[in-house]
Amino acid sequence: MQAEYLVTGGAGFIGSNIVETLVNEGRTVRVLDDLSSGRRSNLAEVEGRFEWIEGSLLDGEVLERALHGVRFVLHLAALPSVVRSVREPELVNRVNVDGTLKLLVKARDAGIERVVFSSSSSVYGNTQVLPKHEDLPTGPLSPYAITKLAGEQYCRVFHALYGLKTFALRYFNVFGPRQNPNSAYAAVIPLFLAALARGEAPVLYGDGGQTRDFTYVENVVRANLACCTAPEAAAGQVYNVACGDRMAVKQLAQELARLMGREVAPVHAPERPGDVRDSQADNRRAREGLGWQPTVDIPTGLRRTLEWFVKHES
């Protein structure tokens, strides 16, 4: 099968949403995933309509096979989670940094048209400026954030040195269908949903006043595709991908409890190392440079996520 798009990490939460969108729009897609954090079941709704390669970013032969004949690479494969990186910094660095470098080298050699790298708002750290814009100094607080910043820099350099068109997207707290609540490193929204479904209290780390720019996954999917299609998009750049709004984590817990019809007071746990206090994006660069804009706001995204969760996970 000849594929136009390669999605690394395509069995993961965001990757599977991208694959489903591409397939449903009639694009030919190849998926590379080692299933270390993704789930093949995430692709059940489009099974048989894409090419599957199970393997690691760190395997050069696998990468060459995955890249053969494709035009665009959407690179989402990584070991996620700030918490995991604090516990296993060498492993996370090996996959996220070494794997990304290997991919860029092979993509350069294969003549790939565009590579879109999934980065993270965690690269900003605890900057006091809100909303956060791409020209702010970075200050990563965790090994995970460092790996994402390193990936961005490699993308920038590969564009400058070799002419490979790269785009780095800084995601802000993505949520939506297929986000795994059962992982030891699960994100806050699926954890809250799972706890509330069991009638348990959601856990807030610290005082719960931390704010986040929660971003529904469909907005992230569209940003990835825009990087491949926007004719005037500036390669070698980073772009914030978020709604440009923020919500306190304790407010999020209250809203999810209300949507689920639960009256459960959250419990508090100690703050986690590596977490930032406040996060909100300035998304003007992506709007202007990619012709992208968020189309799903937080309340709508939460309702859609709850509907999916009740149907599939509870």
Task: Note the pLDDT of residue 276.
Answer: 80
Q: Is 259 contained in some domain?
A: no
144 has catalytic annotation: yes
Residue 102: inside a domain, yes or no? Answer: yes
Percentage of the residues of the chain whose pLDDT score is greater than 70: 98
For the chain, list residues with pLDDT below 70. 183-186, 313-314
**CATH number of domain containing 87:** 3.40.50.720
Q: Which domain holds residue 113?
A: 5-172+216-243+281-295
For residue 306, is it within any domain? no
Considering the entire predicted model, what is its pTM?
Answer: 0.94
Q: Cα 182–55–123 angle (5° rounding)?
A: 60
232 found inside a domain:
yes
- Kindly state whether residue 312 falls inside one of the protein's structural domains: no
Give CA–CA dist 120/161, Å, rounded: 24
Give a yes or no: residue 132 inside a domain: yes
Quick one: pLDDT at residue 313?
66
Catalytic residue (choose from 144, 154, 216, 239)? 144
Contact in structure between 51 and 69 (CB atoms under 8 Å) = no
Q: How many independent structural domains does the chain possess?
A: 1
Question: What are the structure tokens assigned to 166, written together?
Answer: 């790269």
Closest CA to 81 of 120, 48, 47: 120
Asked if residue 153 belongs to a domain, the reply is yes
pLDDT at 186: 62
Residue 159 lies in a domain: yes
